[in-house]
Amino acid sequence: MGLNIGYLSSDRSDNELYTPYYAVDAIIKYIPKDKIIWCPFDEEWSAYYNRLKEKGYSVIRSSLLEGKDFLNYAPDKWDIIVSNPPFSNKDKILKRLYFFKKPFAILLPLNSLQGISRYKYFKQGIQLLSFDKRISYHNSKNMGTPAKGSPFASAYFCRNLLPKDLIIEKLNVYERSLYDFKIT
């Protein structure tokens, strides 16, 4: 039987998937309102950036398109990272997250919990917010509906953010209209 690792290791340009609003809503209740949130993998149209702003959070964002690579850039002032990073770079991203020694919530495939390279970080402390169903991601060609073949088990991998180390919740799935998304 073949291994199902395509979504974790593909270097194809169509590999990029985006988080739906309902997945952002699942983490918001755990984020303190008095903190500055950095969304380091997000464009202005991202669900994270828009939903957090809609809910009254102080949010800054950055992206590779602006030349701000998370692996070597950080804004001057921020308190918590919240985002969906590129899965193909999760090991480098986790290393950088632990380097900052600040709270974070990043959405990753659930099987990211295992791995020799990630063990050294997770043993320092990791929290999980997992769900009763899979998240269906979007691609840039159609942000109004999920991309074909995109649902897979995902969880928020957090540090110093959740009230306990493992939380499993019902995921309230809904779709937003294509007109709710502004992609530039």
For 76, other C-beta atoms within 10 Å of its C-beta total: 5
Full pLDDT tens readout for the chain, 184 residues = 333 333 333 334 445 777 888 899 999 999 999 999 999 999 898 889 999 999 999 999 999 989 999 999 999 999 999 999 988 889 999 999 999 999 999 999 999 998 888 999 999 999 999 999 888 776 665 555 555 555 668 999 999 999 999 999 998 887 554 434 443 3
How many alpha carbons fall within 13 Å on the CB side of residue 122?
Answer: 14
- Give the pair of three-digit tokens for residue 28: 């918001």
**Distance separating alpha carbons of residues 179 and 76, to the nearest angstrom:** 34
Angle, CA 137 vertex, CA 44 and CA 63 arms, to 5°: 30
Q: What is the pLDDT of residue 173?
A: 83
If DSSP codes are grouped into helix, strand and coil, which group holds residue 150? coil
Is residue 171 within 8 A of residue 133, CB to CB? The reply is yes
Q: Which domains does the chain have, with CATH numbers?
A: 14-172 (3.40.50.150)
* One-letter amino acid for residue 174 of the chain: Y
Is residue 62 within 8 A of residue 19, CB to CB? The reply is no
Look-up of token digits 């985006």: 18
* One-letter amino acid for residue 176 of the chain: R
- For residue 154, the Cα-to-chain-centroid distance in whole angstroms is 9
Burial class (CB in 10 A: 0-12, 13-18, 19+), 37: buried
Q: What is the pLDDT of residue 141?
A: 56
Q: What is the pLDDT of residue 99?
A: 96
**What are the two backbone dihedrals, phi and then psi, of residue 22, each rounded to the nearest 5 degrees?**
-65, -30
